[in-house]
Chain A
């Protein structure tokens, strides 16, 4: 339990550093803003109660907001994702998920399943962020393009992080 707590804290710190020291300063192609800190929420155990998911989402989003100087934007997006996570897991439940104590990770599910899970979750999160940021449907196509590009990039980075992380685990 304590080990898990440290694991998530460590992951959070690494993700935040990567996010705000590297990714947020790149602003790839002027359109895409990948947000990889979402992964923290995605990796929580299956049996995490909804209220805890919401609180963690709130805190994680709030810290992200604090660094990106957009108080409330990431917080609300993370809340939406935290609220929908149980539904996503239910809809795309992996066949071998029998053990309620586990967490949705690449090692204990298939790579395809994990990718779909990440892409769907990231898309929801990014769509919320970009449309809330634009706060208009006037440039719908442009905003949607930003959402899609960012989703692809974020999913790609998350996949890489996850590969590195689980490889380390295997070594350890």
Chain B
């Protein structure tokens, strides 16, 4: 205690200088526009940090409502996009006199109630069930990537096989070249999955985007999955590509279930067969 007092006694004039200089400089930089802008770019990282900390608390109160509103809006927009896509498709197909309903999708919003990432076989539980039109085999996506496939659904809940599950494989495509393969998880890093079956001659570069192929009726074509971080020659004819996921599975909150009309039609055919 005495020590601190001694130090303060020795340094108080220097401290006074720093305090007063701080006051005057802040006065100065708060009154003239030019300097304000110049200092702004330097100190933004400092002040920005505090604003961010403050808003992290204030935002919490409206988070639930905001998320819900955004999800509803996104669903509406996605449905709208799909309807336009159908119309476009119709025009394109009119010239060929072929109508093709494969690739017609609509979306159902859902909230994640339970999620895990640290097991080898991870599942996600959603708050949407058959009452909302969820069925087994439905694709699940979030705003920035593929999440998984519905494994089971009861009236009001459904369980989803997460993409982070060593049992699941999703058909995926290298966006630049259009060559396709299968995405699977090796059970190690929750940010990384493996893309197999891409032939060696394909020009793959780090940073390339991987999207869904659309060959199955589960996911529409072109849903982003992730970005290439590494690739190597696996067995002489195929590459093993490491893909960093766009979706952060740790913080998935709201998702969309992909309702594929093709699925209904395939079902109809199956029921007719029976």
Bound-state Cα–Cα, A75 to B17, Å = 11
- The residue from B13, B17, B24 contacting A72, defined by CB atoms under 8 A apart: B24
Distance, CA A71 to CA B35, complexed state (A): 12
Q: In the complex, what distance in Å separates the CA atom of A70 from the CA atom of B13?
A: 26
Taking a contact as CB atoms closer than 8 A, the residue among B17, B21, B27, B39 that contacts A71 in the complex is: B27
* A49 CB contacts on chain B under 8 angstroms: 13
Contact A54 B20 (CB under 8 A): yes
> Which residues of chain B come closer than 8 Å to A165, judged between CB atoms?
none
Which single residue of chain B is at the shortest CB-CB distance from A57? B20
Q: Within the complex, what minimum Cβ distance (angstroms) separates A46 from chain B?
A: 16
Q: Which residues of A contact B28 (CB under 8 A)?
A: 70-73, 75-76, 132
Interface size classification for chain A = 20 to 34
Within 8 A of A (CB), among B6-33: 12-13, 16-17, 20-21, 23-32
Residue of A nearest to B26 (CB): A72
Nearest chain B CB to A122's CB is how many angstroms away? 19
A114 CB → nearest B CB, Å? 25
Compute how far the CA of A49 lies from the CA of B14 in the bound complex, rounded to whole angstroms: 12
Whether, in the assembled complex, B38 has its beta carbon less than 8 Å from a beta carbon of chain A, the answer is yes
Closest to B12 in A: A51
**Most chain B C-beta atoms within 10 Å of own C-beta, residue among A50, A51, A79:** A79
Write the chain B residue with the least CB distance to A86: B13
Query: Do B12 and A72 have beta carbons less than 8 Å apart?
Result: no
Q: DSSP majority for the A interface? A: helix
Q: Does B34 contact A (CB under 8 A)?
A: yes
Residue-wise interface mask of A (26-69) relative to B, using a CB-CB cutoff of 8 A (1 in contact, 0 not)? 00000000000000000000000111001100100110010000
How far apart sit A86 and B30, CA to CA, in the bound complex (Å)? 30
Interface bin, chain B: 20 to 34
Is the beta-carbon distance between A135 and B38 smaller than 8 angstroms?
A: yes
Query: Which residues on B sit within 8 Å (CB–CB) of A152?
Result: none
Task: Tell me which of A50, A70, A80, A136 contacts B21 (CB under 8 A).
Answer: A80
Q: Are A72 and B27 in contact (CB under 8 A)?
A: yes
Given A50-B13, A72-B27, answer yes or no on A79-B32 (Cβ-Cβ < 8 Å). no
Query: Contacts A135-B35, A135-B38 known; A83 to B17 CB distance under 8 Å?
Result: yes
Determine whether the beta carbon of B35 is less than 8 Å from that of A76.
no
Please indicate the chain A residues that have their CB under 8 angstroms from the CB of B30 in the complex: 71-72
Verify A75–B24 contact, CB threshold 8 A: yes
- Which residues of the partner chain B approach A79 to less than 8 Å between Cβ atoms? 17, 20-21, 24
Interface residues of A in 112-136 (CB under 8 A from B): 132, 135-136
Residue of A nearest to B13 (CB): A50
Q: Whole-angstrom distance between the alpha carbons of A55 and B12 in the complex?
A: 13
In the complex, are the beta carbons of B24 and A61 less than 8 A apart?
A: yes
Using known A-B contacts A50-B13, A51-B13, A135-B38, determine if residue A58 contacts B27 with beta carbons closer than 8 Å. Answer: no
Min C-beta distance of B71 to chain A, whole Å: 46
Bound complex: CA of A79 vs CA of B27, how far in Å?
14
Chain A residues positioned under 8 Å from B31 (CB to CB): 70-72
Q: Bound complex: CA of A2 vs CA of B17, how far in Å?
A: 27
Known: A54-B20, A58-B20, A135-B38. A75 touches B27 (CB 8 A): yes
- Give CA–CA (A139, B12) in the complex, Å: 37
**B residues near A135, Cβ cutoff 8 Å:** 34-35, 38-39
Q: Which residues of B contact A (CB under 8 A)?
A: 12-13, 16-17, 20-21, 23-32, 34-35, 38-39
Sample of 5 further A-B pairs with CB below 8 A, known A72-B24, A75-B23, A79-B24: A54-B16, A71-B27, A75-B24, A76-B25, A79-B20
Can you list 6 A-B pairs, Cβ within 8 angstroms, ordered by A? Answer: A50-B17, A72-B27, A72-B29, A72-B30, A75-B23, A76-B21
